[in-house]
Structures are given as C-alpha cells and as structure tokens.
C-alpha cells in the first residue's frame, strides 16, 4: 500500500484518517510520524488564519461563500505545506510522543516543552480506538459464588466476630448470588456486594443504578448512587468499616454470637428498608448449598495449612 493511500492527503479525506486510526491502534510507532504532521498542519492553519485576520478585508468581496471557500483553501494548503520536511515542528512533537530519537541530537541542550498534557496527547488519543474493558468478574452459580468469595468472607467475618455464612448470605441476597452485581453504564463492575450507598462523605468511585426501596411497606423504584470498588475484597473491607464506624449498628455488633440476632439487629438499625430483609437472609443461610459447602471449604482450608510444630 503506497504512502498516498495510507495518509490523509486532502483535508476532507476521511478514509485516510480512518486508516490512520487503525494504524495507531495496531502499530503505534509507525503512526506517530503522521500524527505529528497532522498537528503541525493544524498549527500552520492557525498561522494562516492569524495572517488573514491582520489584513483588511474588502467589503465588496467579503461574503459568507468567500469565507467558506477561503477556509477550505487554507485547510488544503496547510496540508501541502507540512508535507516532506514541513516546518520542523512535527519532529519536536514526534520526540515528545516517543517517536524517532534522531531529533534529540539536533536539539541537544535545548529544553523542549512538555506536550503530554496539551492538545498533542489529546489528538493522538482521539486517533486510537477506545480501550476495550476486560470482562467483568463472572460468577456462574451459587456454588461458584461461595467458592470465589469464601476467603474474603472469612477475613471480614473475623474482624466483626460473626459467622462467615452471615456475610455470604447477606451479599448473596444483595447481588442475587453474584448475578446482579451493580455495573456502570459502560459495563464496569462496581464489586458492591452489600448494597452500600454513596453518602455525601464518600470520596471513592460511585455507580448510579435503579433500586427498589420500601416506603410504608410499598416497593418504590428509585435512582440512587452506590459505592464502587476495585475488587470484592475491597467491598468486604468497606462493609466492615461501614458497620464499625456507624454508631447506629453498635447494638447489632453486640449480638454477633447469634447469627439471627445480628441480622435482625441490622434490619432494626435501618440497614435496609425491605421489611423482610432479615427473614430472607436467614432463609438463605439455612440452604444446604451454604452449610455443606461451608464445611467442605473449612476442611479444604485446614488441609492446605502447613503443619505446625
């Protein structure tokens, strides 16, 4: 493929710009030269515009059509002037973008401006395809949910002094066994396992989703902001801090020796508006997929521990 077919040779050649976008995605180094030339073209056009503004215009030919075609001409002449060696500005930009190092010898001892936080970076970034996010954490079944989150649940439960099954059951209710963890509009996993909302003092990431709240026993849909985390472990840790630092949950924390009393204490303190919140968690805890796998995981963890003494 010839150079003429891989670069935008006229200012309205959108195919050429699309080819440059693809090149920037797959071969960043080879695209830097053309990106630098495009930026130099913009600079030249700005110079031409400034020079034209400095010249008095005739009222006889100063029409909208003339200005339109004059702008088209300036666009094209800017591209033509920056072909080949250009004005030398593109070489400086290339060096800042990590391109050819040959320019460094030519400007040795001269401190070049940092273009990384300027339009150069933004122009180059715009030519690249959007970054594809990695697939969100996928949990396929209640068993998978328990096996995946058991270590984090044990650590968090130890800090609170409660049974790890309580945390698994509560998070399972909040997320539908991991099938309905809140995601952002672009599909980013919030890792929010306990439905903790983002209060005014929350300084971390958030995700806005539609939720169901109960007002006088009636379910009402609302849009609300919830906390977002980088991992499920971070969600467990924040849940522990949320309960320990909030005075209204102190009575519930005093009943950690009884799973049911602890859960009912959370509901009484206003953790959730669902009047059946505690009953649902207790029901999940009684299911065999938690009790049997819990015992199995305990045995598995003990078997993997190194022998002492």
DSSP 201: T
Q: Residue 41 is encoded by which pair of tokens?
A: 């073209």
Q: What is the pLDDT of residue 9?
A: 53
What is the pLDDT at residue 59? 56
Residues written for the chain: 309
Q: Look at residue 222 and give its three-state secondary structure.
A: strand
Collapse the DSSP code of 32 into the 3-class scheme (helix H, G, I; strand E, B; otherwise coil) and give the result: helix
- Collapse the DSSP code of 218 into the 3-class scheme (helix H, G, I; strand E, B; otherwise coil) and give the result: strand
Residue with tokens 């150069």: 120
Return mean pLDDT, the chain. Answer: 75
Beta carbons of 241 and 156 less than 8 angstroms apart: no
Q: What is the 3-state secondary structure (H, E, C) of 246-273?
A: CHHHHHHHCCCCCHHHHHHHHHHCCCCC
Domains of the chain (ranges plus CATH)? 3-127 (no CATH), 142-304 (1.10.530.10)
Reading the block at residue 80, the tokens are 């033509």
- The pLDDT value recorded for residue 101 is 43
- pLDDT number for residue 305: 40
| Location of structure tokens 């070049």 | 112
Positions marked catalytic: 213, 238
User: DSSP for 33-98?
Assistant: HHHHHHHHHHHHHHHHHHHHHTSPPPTTT--HHHHHHHHHHHHHHHHHHTSTTTTSHHHHHHHHTT
% of the chain at pLDDT higher than 70 = 61
User: Full-prediction pTM beyond 0.75?
Assistant: no
User: Lowest-confidence range among 93-102, 112-121, 182-191, 245-254?
Assistant: 112-121
- Grade residue 37 by pLDDT with cuts at 50, 70 and 90: confident
The string of pLDDT tens digits covering residues 63-121 is: 776 777 777 777 777 777 776 655 666 666 666 666 544 434 344 444 444 444 444 44
Write the CB contacts of 12 (distance below 8 Å, at least 6 apart in sequence): 75
Q: Rounded to whole angstroms, how far apart are CA atoms 212 and 223?
A: 9
How confident is the model over 185-212, as a mean pLDDT? Answer: 92
Distance CA 96, CA 135 (A): 33
Is the predicted pLDDT of residue 264 greater than 60, yes or no?
A: yes
Best CA proximity match to 295, nearest among 163, 192, 193, 177 = 163
């Amino acid at each position: 493929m010839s150079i003429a077919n891989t670069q935008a040779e006229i200012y309205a050649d959108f195919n050429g710009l699309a080819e440059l976008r693809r090149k920037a995605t797959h071969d960043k180094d080879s695209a830097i030269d053309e990106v630098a030339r495009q930026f130099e073209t913009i600079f030249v056009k700005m110079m031409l515009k400034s020079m034209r503004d400095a010249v008095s215009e005739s009222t006889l030919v100063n029409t909208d059509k003339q200005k339109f075609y004059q702008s088209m001409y300036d666009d094209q002449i800017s591209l033509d002037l920056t072909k080949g060696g250009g004005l030398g500005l593109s070489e400086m930009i290339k060096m800042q973008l990590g391109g050819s190092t040959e320019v460094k010898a030519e400007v040795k001892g001269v401190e070049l401006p940092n273009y990384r936080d300027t339009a150069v970076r933004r122009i180059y970034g715009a030519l690249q395809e959007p970054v594809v996010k990695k697939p969100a954490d996928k949990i396929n079944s209640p068993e998978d949910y328990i096996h995946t989150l058991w270590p984090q649940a044990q650590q968090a439960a130890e800090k609170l002094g409660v049974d790890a099954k309580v945390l698994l059951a509560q998070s399972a209710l909040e997320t539908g066994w991991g099938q309905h963890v809140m995601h952002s509009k672009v599909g980013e996993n919030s890792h929010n396992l306990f439905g903790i909302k983002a209060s005014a003092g929350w300084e971390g990431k958030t995700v806005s989703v539609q939720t169901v709240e109960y007002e006088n026993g009636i379910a009402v849909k609302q849009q609300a902001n919830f906390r977002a985390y980088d991992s499920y472990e971070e969600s467990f840790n924040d849940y522990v801090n949320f309960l320990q630092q909030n005075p209204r949950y102190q009575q519930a924390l005093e009943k950690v020796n009884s799973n049911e009393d602890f859960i009912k204490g959370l509901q009484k303190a206003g953790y959730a508006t669902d009047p059946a919140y505690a009953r649902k968690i207790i029901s999940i805890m009684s299911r065999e997929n938690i009790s049997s796998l819990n015992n199995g995981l305990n045995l598995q963890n003990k078997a993997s521990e190194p022998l002492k003494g």
